[in-house]
Structure 1
Amino acid sequence: MPRTPRTFTVSDSIVVAASPEAVYGQVSRPALTGRWSPENLGATVHGTGGADRETYVGMVFDGHNKRGPARWSTRCTVTAADAGERFAFRVHAIGLRTPRLRGPIA
């Protein structure tokens, strides 16, 4: 009998004393994620405009991560960029310095 792939969803929520627009302005800038994430060190945004470009669906970036002595990079693509409402991305490759191993990472 063929196995059906499993889909995992991870989510969490907190109450923040800031406007949705202000929060979106922080979480939707991958290059700045290292400022508030305990695991992420920031990101390199692909394409023209780099880190200062407004986030858009289809934007690709490489996230730089660490946990203890372990370090790795992930290739991500933005899947939702609704200012003040929703920011989401798909992680689809992983590697030590360059994300080369493709697959449904997160």
Structure 2
Amino acid sequence: MECFVKDCPNHSGMTVEGLRFLEFPWKRDLLKHDAWIGSLAAGYEDHPSPSSESRICNGHFFRKDSAASLDPEHPSYKPLFFPSMSKEEIKQLRKSCRERLHQVKK
């Protein structure tokens, strides 16, 4: 299995500790599904639509150990990190996510 995110090198044959693949939230959670699609569209204008077989690895979520939070306010609700991002963009986004997570916990 390969990660659906364009240019992501992660696949199920890798021996990366903690690497997991999450299925798209389809009928069971349309709000989350739309958030995931919107996140992919923002990262890649020409990204294809997912199929029922498509999976995203947990490397694209803020908290890899608790990927795909059920809380829409949580930074791990949708994929945020993409291979096209610079290290500085990722650093700034992680900082913003930590601040947002702190606000959610209050």
Fold in common (TM above 0.5): no
Structure with greater helix percent: 2
Q: TM (normalized to structure 1)?
A: 0.28
Q: TM (normalized to structure 2)?
A: 0.28
Q: Relative contact order (alpha carbons < 8 A, sep ≥ 6): 1 or 2 greater?
A: 2
Structure with greater strand percent: 1
